[in-house]
Chain A
């Protein structure tokens, strides 16, 4: 049977977390979605007294059945896996990763290319995923923090960040790690000052910079 592109509806059905299921991924996001749903059900049921009694629908499933006008089918290759999605052209790669593909390891810090939290690799190069449209990358190899490790092993940069305590709150960390991993393949001077400059596109409100630099230098020196 010929494979047809999935409609937005089917994608929504497949990829949104289903609070009723106990199998499947139990994540912070699915937990919080359930909490929000429960309070939503409690507040909205009295307002629907004239409607037939229904199971409380989670907010995410309210879009089920609504085709998104203008959504364009595309194939995104992320961490070696092909994802068939239909997205509006205006969806940024960052939003596609987080909202449509549930790859929430990449973070939204400023959404304007000014912080680096959204750093991913496109064909091995580090970029800010907030300032590019998903539709522009149909033929590209996209790597996110979720795909950095191989075969269950940490990437050397990930291991270095753990060893050198290169994070506090952790919000900038996936962007820092993705940036550093790409840095290993770029020209950059040997000393700490050069590393600071080469990592200057990733900012850290917690100020973990000293340990980040130590982690990056350690990863650069390891065989």
Chain B
């Protein structure tokens, strides 16, 4: 690992000051992505600013019955919070399906959203990589691409976004609050991530000098049930091959409202408006669930080693919808 200058900040303003007009400067929170990648020389900041003392660790109800989650809340604290488990259990399910207890104790809300892809070529500087070095090429497209994306890909990058939490937050229609050089702004999570296109090095709308301060979850829709289903080779401690977060409101046996997001298959956490439209107003039965899954995966572009994900993702979504509507 290259040497760097280290500093610690205690306030949001001093954090912003530390990165203002600075290049090659990174915040470190839990460190579970940044330090992992610094050991691989994939991330090589000249300056590292420790934000663990920032007062952003609260989980609070908002006036309209939603939830405000500080960027520094640890994943384990968020997963075990009684309000989250009561009102947003899909978020807790998603968090607890990811990583390990040790990693969840370290990882933060903001950091989880910003975690980088597990693509083997991205993580190995011996290979070219358009995400690491724009224009150098993508060895995954014609290489070994079993864990790579089938949705949202381009000729420049097929790397999967690996977060579980972000998928649940997509289905919950989270809003990200950011402070930066130009003040404060909020961005719907659905607009936060960027498709790789021809600029895979740009993964989200943050610019240099920005800091995620908190995430807002809107109030739970009336009568909504939710579920997170994660499919992978091992039973635990592994990223998803395919996952689905579903939030569904029923009226009798009819689906009144559905929010669907897929993980493990997209270059970003994949909100599927197509699946939602295929479900709303329809009867809750497996035939309709499967039709929605077909709609969700219609634009899928399989590669040599990940073609199985198309069918796996369809079955994952179908099963998740079955699970959530059966629990009475």
Tell whether A203 is near chain B: CB-to-CB under 8 Å: yes
Is A104 an interface residue, CB under 8 A from the partner?
no
Report the bound CA distance from A132 to B38 in whole Å.
11
Contact A127 B35 (CB under 8 A): no
Specify which chain A residues have a CB less than 8 angstroms from the CB of B103 in the assembled complex.
113, 128, 131, 201
Q: A198 an interface residue at 8 Å Cβ cutoff?
A: yes
CB contact under 8 A between A116 and B5, given known A136-B52, A201-B237: no
Q: Which residues of B contact A114 (CB under 8 A)?
A: 237
Any A CB within 8 A of the CB of B36:
yes
Does A64 interact with chain B (Cβ within 8 Å)? no
* Residue A111 interfacial (CB < 8 Å): yes
B203 at the interface (CB under 8 A from A): no
Q: Select which of A127, A182, A202, A203 is within 8 A of B106 by beta carbon.
A: A127
For A201, the chain B residues whose CB sits under 8 A away are 99-103, 237
Q: Does B48 contact A (CB under 8 A)?
A: yes
A90 touches B1 (CB 8 A): yes
Please give, as numbers and ranges, the residues of chain B lying within 8 Å of A131 by CB-CB distance: 30-32, 35-36, 103, 106
Q: Are B36 and A90 in contact, with the CB atoms below 8 A?
A: no
B50 adjacent to chain A (CB < 8 Å): yes
CA distance A127 to B31 in the complex (A): 11
Q: In the docked arrangement, what's the CA distance between A92 and B2, Å?
A: 13
A132 touches B101 (CB 8 A): no
A208 interface residue (CB < 8 Å to B): no
Bound complex: CA A133 to CA B103 (Å): 15
Q: Are A128 and B106 in contact (CB under 8 A)?
A: yes
- Give B251 Cβ to nearest chain A Cβ, in Å: 34
Residue contact B101 to A179, C-beta cutoff 8 Å: yes
In the bound complex, how far is the Cα of B38 from the Cα of A70, in angstroms?
18
B304 within 8 A of A: no
A89 & B105 in contact (Cβ 8 Å cutoff): no
Neighbouring A residues of B1 by C-beta, 8 Å = 90
Q: Is the CB of B105 within 8 A of A125?
A: yes
Closest 9 CB pairs of A and B: A201-B100, A89-B6, A200-B236, A125-B105, A200-B237, A128-B102, A201-B102, A131-B35, A90-B1
